[in-house]
Amino acid sequence: MALKVRFAVLWVGLGVLVAAGLLPVSAQAQAPALERRVPNAAELRLSYAPVVQRVAPAVVNVYAAKIVQNRNPLFDDPIFRRFFGVPGDAGNQLQRSLGSGVIVDASGLIVTNVHVIEGADEIKVSLADKREFEATVVLKDPRTDLAVLRIKDGKEKFPFLDFANSDALEVGDVVLAIGNPFGVGQTVTHGIVSALARTQVGVSDYQFFVQTDAAINPGNSGGALVDLTGRLVGINTAIFSRSGGSQGVGFAIPANMVRVVTTSAKTGGSAVKRPWLGAKLQAVTPEIADSMGLKRPAGALIASVTSGGPAAHAGLKAGDLIVSVDGQAVDDTNAFDYRFATKALDGVAKLGIVRAGKDVVATVALQTAPEMPREEITIRSRSPFSGAKVANLSPALADELQLQNIDNGVVILDVDNGSYASNLGFQRGDVIEEVNGAHIGKTKDLEAAAKTPSGAWRIVVMRRGQRISAVFGG
C-alpha cells in the first residue's frame, strides 16, 4: 500500500511541476502551450504551511485513562490477601487510550469521538505547544459518536476552528487531516475528498460520512479535517483497513452534524435535541421503485405515521416518498436522517414528496419528540433483571434508541457486565412488556415485580420489532 501512497503523492507533485513549467524538455514538448521559463519564487513556494500554522494550535491530543477490574475471586478473601500479601486492589488494570480533538470555542470547548473517551475516569488534553490540561465531559452523543469536552480551569482564550458548510464540499476538494496517529504526536496529512454521503460505514446511527484519502490512522480519531481556508469540514472518526493502518479510505463526520452537537453543549444541554419526524421510513428497493414507476430506487418511503406527530400534522401519509429536504436531494433513509437532523429546531422544513406520481411539498414543523420523566433505575434485587438499568419509554427515548412502532413502556438502557441480566442476554433497547403475567408500564412496576420472589420467571420482551417470551428458573 505504501507504493500506492507514493504514487499518489508523485502524481500530485507532477501536477505542480506542470503548472510551474518544470517538466523535462521531452515532457514540455508534449505541451507546447506551456512557456519555457524559470519559475519565480512564489511559484516555487507552493505549500500548505500557512494553513497548517493557522489551524494546528486548535487541534489537541486527547489522553483517556480508566481503571478496569480484573480480579481473581481469591483476592476478595481477606485471609488469602493477608497470607500472600496481596493488596486490596490487586488485579485492577489502568487502561489508556489516545485520540485527537478540536477546540471549537475560545473558552476551551473541544469536540472528539465518544469512542476515544468512553468509560474514562480521567481525561487530559495536550495542546500543540505541549501544555497539558485536565478536561471534563460536557456532553456525549453516541448516535453520532461525538463527545464535547471542556478544558478544566481554563482561564485564557484558546485558539479554535470555525466550521465550514460541509454541504458545500465537492469530490476532489483538497483537505488536510490533523491528529495524533499512533501517539507519535501532532501530524498533518493531505488528500482530497474522495466521496460524499457514504452510508455503509456502520460506526454511528447517522450514516452520512465524508470520505477522504488523506492518511488517517489509529489515534487520528477525533482530529480535524480542514479545507484550504483553515475551516473545519469534518471530524475524522474511522478508517477502512485490512492492515490496521491507513489504506487511503478514511471517514469523517460532516461539520454540519458536528455543529449541531456542539451547539447543544454550548447551550448547557446534557443531550442533543434534534427534530422529530414522527414517522417510520423504509428503503426504496428496485421492486418498490418499479411498482411506483420510478426511474431509479431513490428517496425515503414513509411506512407509517405516528398519530399526533409533526408528519401527521403536515398531512404526510404512508406510501409518500420523500425525495428532498429544503431542496436538497434525498437518495435514501440515511440521507433523510442526516438532512433532517441538521435542521435547526423551532422552524419548519419543506419536504419534497412524490404521492401517487405527483410532486407535493409538505411543510413539517421542526420540533423535538415528546419527553416524559425517565425515572432511570438499576435493578439490584435478585431477579433476572439484576444489573439492568431501565427507564420509562417515551417518543423521545424511542427516537434516541431507534425503536420503531413503540413509544411507551419500560426499556433497558444498559446492562452491567457480568450481571445476572447480562448473563441471561438482556440488551440495550429491550422493552419489558410483561413479568409473570403482569403488565409493565413504568419502571416502578418492574422494580416491584423484580422484588417479588418467584419460582419461575415468565417474561415477555419486545426486541427489534419481535415479541419474545422466555421462562427462567427462580
| Catalytic residue set | 115, 145, 221
CA of residue 242 relative to chain centroid, distance: 22
CA distance 4 to 362: 49
Evaluate whether 339 touches 406 at the Cβ level (below 8 Å). no
Number of neighbouring beta carbons within 10 Å of residue 343: 17
Among all chains, which residue has been given the C-alpha cell 417515551? 394
Q: Write out the three cell numbers for 308.
A: 399526533
Task: Note the helical H segments in 197-301.
Answer: 255-266, 286-292
Sequence-ordered alpha helix ranges (H) in 86-183: 114-117
Question: Helix crossing, 333-341 with 255-266: angle to 10°?
Answer: 40
Report yes or no: 219 and 178 within 8 Å, Cβ to Cβ. no
> What torsion do the CA atoms of 252, 255, 261, 265 make, to the nearest 10 degrees?
120
C-alpha dihedral sign at 182, 222, 111, 192: positive
| Contact status, residue 414 vs residue 157, Cβ threshold 8 Å | no
> Looking at the DSSP assignment, which residues form a beta bridge with residue 178?
188, 224
d(CA 395, CA 406): 8
Q: How far is CA 315 from the centre of its chain?
A: 31
CA-CA distance, 310 to 271, in Å (whole number)?
Answer: 21
- What Cα–Cα distance (Å) separates residue 263 from each residue in 123, 230, 255, 256, 277? 22, 20, 12, 11, 21
Cα pseudo-dihedral 263, 267, 272, 274, rounded to 10: -70
**b/e string for 70-109 if b means 16 or more Cβ within 10 A?**
eeeeebeeeeeeeeeeeeeeebeeeeebbbbbbbbbeebb
